[in-house]
């Protein structure tokens, strides 16, 4: 049923512990009674075939109970067979006033059937079986005038309760282990999916930014090719360098070692915006650059700078832009603004732009907001705690 080696071993152990023990009890209890020379042949002879049938039915039913979602209906024939065999194994010893043996087979059958039922049905079956076990021994004892009526009544009831507990306990433990194993597998799958989402987010940040700048410079070079070949060649050299940077960053993402230094991203953002003809200004407090901001938090803010810069190039007609980073008390605050907000939604509809970064900042204890201010002015603001922020 399961591929895990540990769970396979536990299933094997449960099989030997439950069906193996049940079969041994049936064979030892009724086999010894069938070999007792003091018991008449008419009472011993039917025990052997009834015992064989009951043992096979018990083994089949217990094997089905070890499945992940056991169903009783497909095994109804085996249940009926077990009930008939148990009735024979109960009636013969009871006719001989053997009050300690007659309830063994019925108790086993009750325990096996209870394993297939939901909790409510299981409680009713077990409770009813324990109460019913008081009656046959009491009736035979009373009719025959035997001694010790308490033993004749209470021992079968106690035996039924003990057998049910012995059989259902290991089966319950097996099902709990199966649920835990499935939960572990689900957790592993979710971890893989989370890593894929992280990888996709990092890849989007890298490729979206680089490709936007490459497209911008390639367009500029094409316009300058006839009027200013020297500058066009310089722009294409920068395009080649940007392609190399994009390839290096992509390889770093694949290896899982990429980092986005905040100071470098702010400086790079102003250079890229300036290359696009935008008056870009950077405001970086000396105290902010020296603040004890955790590396994951600095990386997140670097990603915000990169995404906001890409959105300025993609969605705006800005003439001026500014990047401001400072520390107010225990909070690091980053603002990227421009004066040419376009009609497109910079947050993105696919969750991989500012919306994806907003979720990551919330997980780190910070906040990311964006929106228009004073007409065509658009501002992206990110805040993170200076200490204790985690990715």
Residue 214 · residue 242 · CB < 8 Å: yes
- 286 and 170 assigned to the same domain: no
- 153 and 227 assigned to the same domain: no
- By C-alpha distance, which of 329, 337, 278, 274 is closest to 304? 337
Residue with tokens 């890849």: 203
3-state secondary structure of 4: coil
Cα 253 to the center of its chain, rounded Å: 25
Decide if 178 is inside a domain.
yes
- 261 and 122 assigned to the same domain: no
Half-sphere exposure of residue 48: CA atoms within 13 angstroms, side-chain side? 7
Q: Report which secondary-structure segment, H or E, holds 322.
A: strand 320-328
Residue 312 CA to residue 201 CA, distance in Å, equals 19
Residue 349 phi/psi, 5-degree rounding, is: -95, -10
Please give the tally of structural domains in the chain. Answer: 2
Residue 380 phi/psi, 5-degree rounding, is: -110, 130
Q: List Cα–Cα distances, 24 to 18, 104, 171, in angstroms.
A: 10, 12, 18
Query: CATH number for the domain including 198?
Result: 3.30.565.10
Position 155 scores a pLDDT of 92
Exposure string over 301-338, b if 16+ CB within 10 A, otherwise e: bbbbbbbbbbbbbbbbebeebbbbbbbeeeebbbbbbb
* Long-range Cβ pairs for the range 44-49 (8 Å, 24+): 46/88, 46/92, 47/88, 47/89, 47/92
- 220 and 319 assigned to the same domain: yes
> Both tokens of residue 333?
């605050």
Residue 201 CA to residue 193 CA, distance in Å, equals 12
pLDDT in tens, 317-375: 788 888 888 887 788 888 998 887 765 544 444 445 788 888 888 888 889 998 888 77
Bridge partner residues of 321 (DSSP): 280, 338
Rounded to two decimals, the pTM is: 0.53
Position 86 scores a pLDDT of 92
- 74 and 22 assigned to the same domain: yes
Residue 369 phi/psi, 5-degree rounding, is: -130, 155
Crossing angle of the two packed helices 119-132 and 104-116, in degrees rounded to 10: 170
* Sign, CA torsion 252/253/256/260: positive
- 205 and 71 assigned to the same domain: no
- 135 and 29 assigned to the same domain: yes
- 165 and 226 assigned to the same domain: no
- 305 and 373 assigned to the same domain: yes
Decide if 260 is inside a domain.
yes
Decide if 391 is inside a domain.
no
Residue 33 CA to residue 19 CA, distance in Å, equals 21
Give the residue ranges of the chain where pLDDT is below 70.
1-6, 68-69, 192, 195, 198-199, 202, 205-206, 209, 252-261, 286-292, 342-352, 387-391
End-to-end CA distance of the chain: 38
- 167 and 237 assigned to the same domain: no
Position 198 scores a pLDDT of 67
Residue 17 CA to residue 229 CA, distance in Å, equals 86
**Pairing mode, if any, of strands 279-284 and 320-328?**
parallel
| Structural domain boundaries, residue 149 | 5-186
- By C-alpha distance, which of 92, 19, 101, 97 is closest to 62? 19
- 26 and 164 assigned to the same domain: yes
How many CB atoms within 10 Å of residue 376? 15
Question: What single string gives the DSSP state of each residue in 325-359?
Answer: EEEETTEEEEEEEES-B-SS-TT-SSSSSHHHHHH
Strand order across the 367-373 sheet: 279-284, 320-328, 331-338, 377-385, 367-373
Decide if 390 is inside a domain.
no
- 305 and 211 assigned to the same domain: yes
Q: Which of 152, 186, 220 is the last residue of a domain?
A: 186
Q: Which of 157, 186, 215 is the last residue of a domain?
A: 186
Q: Which of 156, 186, 216 is the last residue of a domain?
A: 186
Residue with tokens 């010893």: 93
Position 184 scores a pLDDT of 77
3-state secondary structure of 373: strand
Residue 383 · residue 329 · CB < 8 Å: no
């Amino acid at each position: 049923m399961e591929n895990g080696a540990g769970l396979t071993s536990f299933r094997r152990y449960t099989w030997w512990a439950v069906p193996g023990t049940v079969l041994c009890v049936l064979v030892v209890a009724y086999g010894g009674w069938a070999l007792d020379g003091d018991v008449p042949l008419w009472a011993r002879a039917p025990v052997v075939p009834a015992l064989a049938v009951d043992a096979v039915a018990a083994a089949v039913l217990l094997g089905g109970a070890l499945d992940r979602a056991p169903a009783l209906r497909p095994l109804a024939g085996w249940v009926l067979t077990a009930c008939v065999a148990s009735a024979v194994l109960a009636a013969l010893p009871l006719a001989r006033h053997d009050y300690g043996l007659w309830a063994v087979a019925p108790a086993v059958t009750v325990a096996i059937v209870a394993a297939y039922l939901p909790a409510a049905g299981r409680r009713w079956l077990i409770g009813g079986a324990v109460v019913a076990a008081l009656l046959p021994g009491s009736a035979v004892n009373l009719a025959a005038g035997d001694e010790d009526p308490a033993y004749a009544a209470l021992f079968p009831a106690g035996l039924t309760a003990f057998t049910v507990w012995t059989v259902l306990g290991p089966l319950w433990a097996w099902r709990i282990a199966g649920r835990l194993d499935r939960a572990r597998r689900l957790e592993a799958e979710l971890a893989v999916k989370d890593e894929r989402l992280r990888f996709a987010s990092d890849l989007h940040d890298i490729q979206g930014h680089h490709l936007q700048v490459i497209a911008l410079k390639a367009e500029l070079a094409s316009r300058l090719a006839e009027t200013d070949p020297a500058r066009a060649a310089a722009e294409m050299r920068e395009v080649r360098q940007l392609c190399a940077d994009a390839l290096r960053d992509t390889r770093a993402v694949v290896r899982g070692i990429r980092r986005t230094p905040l100071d470098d991203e702010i400086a790079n953002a102003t250079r890229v915006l300036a290359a696009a003809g935008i008056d870009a200004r950077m405001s970086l407090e000396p105290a902010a650059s020296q603040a004890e901001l955790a590396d994951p938090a600095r990386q997140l803010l670097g990603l915000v700078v990169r995404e906001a810069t890409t959105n300025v190039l993609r969605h705006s007609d800005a003439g001026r832009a500014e990047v401001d980073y400072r520390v107010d008390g225990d909070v690091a605050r980053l603002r990227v603004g421009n004066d040419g907000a376009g009609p497109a939604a910079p947050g993105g509809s696919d969750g991989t732009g500012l919306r994806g970064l907003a979720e990551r900042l919330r997980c780190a204890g910070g906040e990311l907001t964006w929106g228009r201010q004073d007409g065509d002015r658009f501002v992206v603001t990110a805040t993170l705690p200076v200490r204790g922020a985690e990715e």
